[in-house]
């Protein structure tokens, strides 16, 4: 919209003069100067029906208040968003919405993240003029996991429009009319769609709720962290909601290049279940037949000593769910021992496209960092366990659970290092050193998505026990071997990667920004 | 006696053949001079037709009174997209039943008007969106359309003019809001009859996204006469701003209810008391709604005015659709207003917050007052809700729901107070 060929329009909003491209709406123009006009039916990713009548503003010379979400700016327009007339219009819309609203905030999932609640407080309506009985419509499932509370619904139709315009599967409709209206499928049966949970995200109130999340936390108890979904190689930007060291939900975070405002249902459950199960929380070193829990300095010393003893060239089985920083650290350790080759396997599933934003797919590769692993010289393989089973030199395992490894796997290796978050039979029987590592939610890092976009994710949870990311522990070993420097933060680890790799040249945590950046080979391919 | 009542003071132009069964069929219609205007129109250029209609001052008869010729002139002249005409026959304004009679008795008058208009705006397809409840009228209209096709007035190369037009009769499914022009277009497309945000106006993006003119039945039915006889002929009736004649659907407490056609400079009081015969024996007239239930209620003292658009407006109401509802002194005004608001609450499409919630809230309060459980603070509350509904929504239904409330409180406050204070009613039983 900001292209130079678009003529600029001069307007005044709340006394501030500004210039915006022709075709901009009042609502969008106001946001440029930090004036957020309240809205329900408006959603930046959807069409604009102008039905909630919340965003009415006074336009000088217009006979009545104008809906700012659809009214385009005109030269010389003078807009007031906070004068008595606009405020009265807004108060009126809120009062009308509350006439039949149950006001059950104390038991409502949306309390604390509810736009109706926010604006009702903002307009200061603490008592009601309504003494009439309310319309009661009840509740129903619209998908097996989503419950619709009709009484709370403000009929903004964002969910209807999402299914129609973005999912392009118009299963939801407004049923009945007037004060009896509610949202449902035409057949009164539940529907299923791989992107259905987005209707919960777009709901401005507590009408559509995710049953898997219902009644678990209050929204204000959640710690919010910007992250990247690990559910597939798409790399959707998400906000993780965590409470008491548990991820309770992922909501999509806007990135126009990757996922717009949306994400799939698979990703949401993948996030919540990621790394579930019992964890290894302390480093371990082999002592005869058993693995002895030790502190980090002993574990790292043991690994340093073992590598000084020249155990032979290194092979690895890594996970494409590990961050670039962790993969790079393993690669550096392997280089120190002599790199022979590393492989990873990828679990796959059927693809689903979001038709209204076709760039967003639930990708077949159900791990986040296939491209990142490949760029660091690791190869995708169907059976890396078989390929590595007879290896006699150094063997690194990074975050692969080795669930299906045969008995005696890794027994021939001169040095077997297991870096992971879960104990398993193969590691217990054969590993010489075990370094406990955090999951993606417990550390900072980057993933490189299917098209080569490098994106940062933040740490949402405290890393349990003594777990430490391998870029931190591995670099300590390399420092002792005088083969590298100790890396103390993820940002420094990424900078080390960027310094070594042409693909990541020039990148840093600071300049990746909110939308990520393309690796060199992809940036060249995409004009 | 012809169709229910006629009166010597009427000026029957559109309704000339009401009650004449032989005028329904195409042969009878041609015998009575039908389709002559069409032949004349094909001898004129499109702009000439639009000019004549503009000069005649014909205004939209659906309620808003927008000049018809001006509306036609908004249509793109040489667009690469098809143009459409939608005839609004979804007559559902309470108290209005004039279009029904035009279609019932003189379907070819409407079809001729549609063809002329379609030719003038270069439409390739015309639709009659008719109220589904008009079962018998639909039957008549469908028969007439078939006849018109058979005689070459519709279809390819109409009357050798080289102009093609198809006409489809489309039935509504029972929603008042489908009579709002953009709600009508949505319904025509198979969507919910929810009014659209304007702009874009139908002449820019109408039916199926194409430029479309939407006109009322009575407007289009007046076109053949204007084209045949000229603008001055039409201007012999009515006022400068409101030329021509208009049908009034008169109902309620009247001795002779029915459709009456009068020039637009006719006196409203004479229409009510002379033509319609005033209230039944032994009753006093209490109030009149002159243009369908969406316009302000008038007291008997306010009736001495022209029935023109500007005349009724000056007297405190609106001409609207010409659906005149008379109420005598047996009427409980609170009850009457509650029934009207109930109607709007029921018919609100529900997309705009203010209308959906406001209309049902008004209805609940009025019901409570009617039961004798009103409070004095309900009066300012009703007025404030009405103010919050009016002018804040996409279409004017919200305003319509507020109008009877506000005008009845202004003019019949005593009736409200009798209910609120004494739990009684001033209606004379």
Domain ranges of chain B: 21-235, 245-328, 333-422
Residue range B333-422 forms a domain whose CATH class is mainly alpha
Flag whether residue A57 sits within 8 Å of chain B, measured between CB atoms: no
Half-sphere exposure of residue A279: CA atoms within 13 angstroms, side-chain side:
18
Q: What are φ and ψ of residue A12, in 5° steps?
A: -125, 120
Q: Is B309 exposed, middle or buried (0-12, 13-18, 19+ CB in 10 A)?
A: buried
Q: Are B121 and B240 in contact (CB under 8 A)?
A: no
Among A129, A131, A132, A100, residue whose Cα is nearest residue A116: A100
Q: Side by side, which strands form the sheet with B285-289?
A: B258-263, B245-252, B323-328, B285-289, B298-299
Flag whether residue B361 sits within 8 Å of chain A, measured between CB atoms: yes
User: What pLDDT shows up at residue A401?
Assistant: 86
Residue spans of the domains in chain A: they are 8-96, 105-112+131-273, 284-439+458-483
Among B247, B223, B276, B303, residue whose Cα is nearest residue B36: B223
Measured CA distances, B416 to A370, B296, B335, B336 (Å): 75, 17, 10, 12
State the distance between the two ends of chain A, measured CA to CA, in whole angstroms: 19
- CB contact (8 A) between residue B356 and residue A179: yes
CA–CA gap between residue A437 and residue A421 (Å, rounded): 5
Q: Dihedral angle at the C-alpha atoms of A265, A267, A272, A273, nearest 10 degrees?
A: 110
- CB contact (8 A) between residue B356 and residue A65: no
Which of chain A's residues have a Cβ under 8 Å away from the Cβ of B365? 132
DSSP A145: T
CA–CA gap between residue B213 and residue B373 (Å, rounded): 48
Flag whether residue A65 sits within 8 Å of chain B, measured between CB atoms: yes
Scanning every residue of chain A, which has its alpha carbon at the shortest distance from the alpha carbon of B390?
A: A64
CA–CA gap between residue B181 and residue B197 (Å, rounded): 11
For the CA atoms of chain B, what is the radius of gyration? 22
Helices (H), B121-249: 135-150, 181-188, 217-229, 231-235
Q: Where are the beta strands (DSSP E) in B320-413?
A: 323-328
* Residues of chain A numbered 124-163 and touching chain B (CB < 8 Å): 129-130, 132-133, 135, 154-155, 157
Assign a CATH topology to domain A284-439+458-483: Rossmann fold (3.40.50)
Scanning every residue of chain B, which has its alpha carbon at the shortest distance from the alpha carbon of A128?
A: B381
| Residue A140 host element (H or E) | strand A139-143
Given A65, A132, A174, which is nearest B192 (Cβ)?
A174
Among A497, A459, A25, residue whose Cα is nearest residue A245: A459
User: Span A85-108, mean pLDDT?
Assistant: 94
In this structure, what token pair is assigned to residue A502? 């042409």
- Written as tens digits, the pLDDT of chain B (429 aa) is 345 688 999 999 999 999 999 999 999 999 999 999 999 999 999 999 999 999 999 999 998 999 999 999 999 988 789 999 999 999 999 999 999 999 999 999 999 999 999 999 999 999 999 999 999 999 999 999 999 999 999 999 999 999 999 999 999 998 999 999 999 999 999 999 999 999 999 999 999 999 999 999 999 999 999 999 999 999 999 999 999 999 999 999 999 999 999 999 999 999 999 999 999 999 999 999 999 999 999 999 999 999 999 999 999 999 999 999 999 999 999 999 999 999 999 999 999 999 999 999 999 999 999 999 999 999 999 999 999 999 999 999 999 999 999 999 999 999 999 999 999 998 887
- CB contact (8 A) between residue A178 and residue B350: yes
Half-sphere exposure of residue B229: CA atoms within 13 angstroms, side-chain side:
15
Architecture of the A8-96 domain:
Roll (3.10)
Tens digit of each residue's pLDDT (9 = 90 or more) over B41-97: 999 999 999 999 999 999 999 989 999 999 999 999 887 899 999 999 999 999 999
With vertex at residue A286, the alpha carbon angle to CA A281 and CA A291, rounded to the nearest 5 degrees, is 50
Measured CA distances, B426 to A118, B286, B296, B382, B404 (Å): 46, 11, 20, 20, 18
Does ipTM surpass 0.90 in this model?
Answer: yes
Contacts of A288 by beta carbon, 8 Å cutoff, 6+ apart: none
The alpha carbon of residue A159 is apart from the nearest alpha carbon of chain B, in Å, by 14
In this structure, what token pair is assigned to residue B242? 């409101």
For the CA atoms of chain A, what is the radius of gyration? 27
Which of chain B's residues have a Cβ under 8 Å away from the Cβ of A135? 360
Flag whether residue B33 sits within 8 Å of chain A, measured between CB atoms: no
The alpha carbon of residue A328 is apart from the nearest alpha carbon of chain B, in Å, by 55
Q: Are B171 and B368 in contact (CB under 8 A)?
A: no
Q: Are B352 and B388 in contact (CB under 8 A)?
A: no
Given A51, A64, A92, which is nearest B388 (Cβ)?
A92
Flag whether residue B353 sits within 8 Å of chain A, measured between CB atoms: yes
Given B197, B346, B357, which is nearest A100 (Cβ)?
B357
Tens digit of each residue's pLDDT (9 = 90 or more) over B223-262: 999 999 999 999 999 999 999 999 999 999 999 999 999 9
What integer best gives the mean pLDDT of chain A? 94
Which of chain B's residues have a Cβ under 8 Å away from the Cβ of A23? none
In this structure, what token pair is assigned to residue B150? 């058979």
pTM, entire model: 0.93
Q: Is A198 left (phi over 0), alpha (psi -120 to 50) or beta?
A: alpha
- CB contact (8 A) between residue A155 and residue B175: no
Q: Are A341 and A315 in contact (CB under 8 A)?
A: yes
The alpha carbon of residue B377 is apart from the nearest alpha carbon of chain A, in Å, by 10
Architecture of the B21-235 domain:
3-Layer(aba) Sandwich (3.40)
The CATH number of A105-112+131-273 is 3.30.70.20
The alpha carbon of residue A140 is apart from the nearest alpha carbon of chain B, in Å, by 20
Which of chain B's residues have a Cβ under 8 Å away from the Cβ of A49? 197, 351
Q: Are B368 and B387 in contact (CB under 8 A)?
A: no
- CB contact (8 A) between residue A155 and residue B353: yes
Architecture of the B245-328 domain:
Roll (3.10)
- CB contact (8 A) between residue B354 and residue A53: yes
The alpha carbon of residue A469 is apart from the nearest alpha carbon of chain B, in Å, by 53
Which of chain B's residues have a Cβ under 8 Å away from the Cβ of A95? 388
- CB contact (8 A) between residue A64 and residue B357: no
DSSP B74: T
In this structure, what token pair is assigned to residue A292? 């002895």
């Amino acid at each position: 919209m900001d292209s130079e060929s678009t003529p600029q329009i001069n307007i005044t909003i709340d006394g501030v003069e500004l210039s915006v491209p022709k075709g901009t709406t009042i609502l969008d123009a106001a946001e440029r100067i930090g004036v957020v006009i309240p809205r329900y039916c408006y959603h930046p990713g959807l069409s604009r029906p102008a039905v909630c009548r919340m965003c009415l503003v006074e336009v000088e010379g217009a006979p009545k208040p104008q809906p700012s979400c659809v009214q385009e700016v005109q030269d010389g327009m003078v807009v007031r968003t906070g004068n008595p007339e606009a405020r009265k219009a807004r108060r009126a819309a809120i009062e009308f919405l509350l006439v039949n609203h149950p006001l059950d905030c104390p038991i409502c999932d949306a309390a604390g993240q509810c736009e109706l609640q926010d604006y009702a407080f903002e307009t200061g309506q603490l008592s009601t003029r309504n003494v009439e009985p309310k319309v009661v419509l009840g509740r129903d499932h619209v998908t097996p996991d989503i419950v619709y509370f009709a009484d709370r619904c403000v009929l903004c139709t964002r969910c209807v429009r999402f299914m129609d315009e973005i999912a392009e599967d118009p299963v939801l409709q407004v049923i009945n009319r007037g004060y009896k209206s509610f949202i449902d499928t035409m057949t009164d049966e539940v529907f299923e769609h791989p992107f259905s949970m987005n209707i919960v995200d777009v709901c401005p109130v507590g009408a559509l709720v995710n049953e898997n999340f219902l009644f678990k936390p209050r929204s204000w108890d959640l710690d919010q962290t910007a992250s990247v979904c690990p559910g597939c190689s798409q790399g959707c930007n998400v906000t993780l909601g965590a409470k008491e060291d548990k991820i309770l939900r992922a909501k999509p975070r806007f990135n126009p290049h990757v996922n717009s405002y949306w994400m799939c249902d698979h990703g949401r459950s993948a996030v919540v279940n990621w790394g579930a199960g019992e964890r290894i929380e302390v480093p371990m070193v082999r002592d005869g037949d058993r693995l002895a829990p030790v502190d980090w300095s002993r574990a790292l010393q043991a690994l340093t000593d073992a590598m000084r003893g020249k155990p032979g060239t290194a092979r690895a089985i890594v996970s494409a769910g590990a961050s670039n920083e962790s993969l790079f650290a393993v690669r550096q350790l392997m280089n120190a021992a002599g790199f022979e080759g590393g492989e990873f396997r990828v679990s796959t599933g059927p693809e689903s496209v979001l038709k209204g934003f076709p760039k967003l797919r639930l990708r077949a590769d159900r791990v986040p960092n296939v491209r990142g692993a490949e760029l660091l010289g690791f190869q995708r393989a169907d059976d890396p366990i078989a390929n590595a089973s007879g290896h006699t030199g150094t063997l690194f395992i990074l975050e692969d659970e080795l669930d299906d490894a045969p008995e005696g796997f890794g027994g021939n290796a001169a040095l077997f290092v297991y870096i992971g978050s879960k104990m398993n039979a193969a590691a217990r029987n054969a590993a010489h050193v075990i370094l406990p590592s955090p999951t993606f939610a417990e550390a900072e890092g980057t993933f490189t998505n299917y098209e080569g976009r490098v994106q940062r994710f933040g740490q949402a949870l405290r890393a349990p026990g003594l777990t430490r990311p391998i870029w931190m522990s591995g670099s300590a070993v390399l420092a002792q071997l005088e083969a590298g420097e100790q890396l103390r933060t993820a940002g420094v680890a990424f900078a080390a990667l960027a310094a070594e790799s042409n693909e990541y040249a020039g990148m840093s945590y600071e300049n990746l920004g909110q939308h990520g950046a393309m690796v060199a080979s992809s940036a060249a391919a995409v004009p | 006696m012809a169709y229910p009542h006629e009166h010597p003071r009427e000026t029957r132009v559109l309704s000339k053949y009401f009650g004449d069964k032989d005028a329904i069929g195409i042969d009878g219609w041609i015998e009575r001079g039908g389709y002559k205007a069409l032949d004349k129109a094909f001898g004129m250029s499109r702009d000439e037709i639009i000019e004549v209609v503009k000069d005649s001052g014909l205004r939209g008869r659906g309620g808003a009174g927008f000049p018809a010729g001006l509306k036609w002139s908004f249509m793109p002249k040489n667009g690469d997209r098809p143009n459409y005409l939608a005839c609004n026959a979804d007559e559902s304004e309470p108290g209005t039943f004039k279009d029904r009679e035009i279609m019932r008795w003189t379907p070819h008058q409407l079809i001729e008007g549609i063809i002329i208009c379609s030719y003038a705006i270069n439409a390739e397809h015309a639709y009659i969106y008719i109220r589904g409840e008009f079962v018998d009228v639909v039957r008549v209209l469908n028969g007439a359309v078939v006849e018109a096709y058979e005689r070459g007035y519709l279809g390819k190369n109409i009357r050798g003019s080289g102009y093609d037009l198809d006409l489809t009769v489309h039935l509504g499914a029972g929603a008042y809001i489908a009579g709002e022009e953009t709600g009508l277009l949505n319904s025509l497309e198979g969507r919910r009859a929810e009014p659209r945000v304007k702009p874009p106006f139908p002449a820019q993006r109408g039916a199926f996204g194409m430029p479309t003119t939407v006109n009322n039945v009575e407007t289009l039915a007046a076109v053949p006469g204007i084209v045949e006889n000229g603008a001055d002929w039409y201007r012999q009736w009515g006022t400068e701003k409101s030329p021509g004649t208009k049908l009034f659907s008169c109902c309620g407490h009247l001795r002779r209810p029915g459709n009456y056609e009068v020039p637009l400079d006719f006196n409203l009081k004479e229409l009510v008391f002379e033509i319609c015969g005033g209230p039944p024996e032994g009753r006093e007239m209490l109030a009149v709604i002159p243009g369908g239930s969406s316009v302000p209620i008038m007291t008997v003292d306010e009736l001495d005015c022209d029935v023109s658009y500007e005349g009724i407006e000056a007297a405190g109401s609106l001409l609207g659709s010409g659906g005149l509802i008379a109420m005598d002194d047996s009427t409980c005004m609170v009850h009457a207003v509650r029934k009207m608001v109930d109607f709007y609450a029921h018919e609100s499409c529900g997309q705009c917050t203010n209308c959906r919630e406001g209309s049902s809230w008004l209805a609940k309060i009025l019901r409570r007052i009617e039961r004798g459980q009103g409070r004095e603070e309900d009066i300012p509350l009703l007025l404030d809700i009405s103010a919050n509904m009016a002018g804040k929504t996409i279409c004017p239904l919200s305003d319509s729901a507020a109008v009877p409330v506000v005008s009845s409180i202004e003019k019949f406050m005593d009736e409200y107070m009798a209910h609120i204070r004494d739990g009684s009613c001033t209606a004379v039983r």
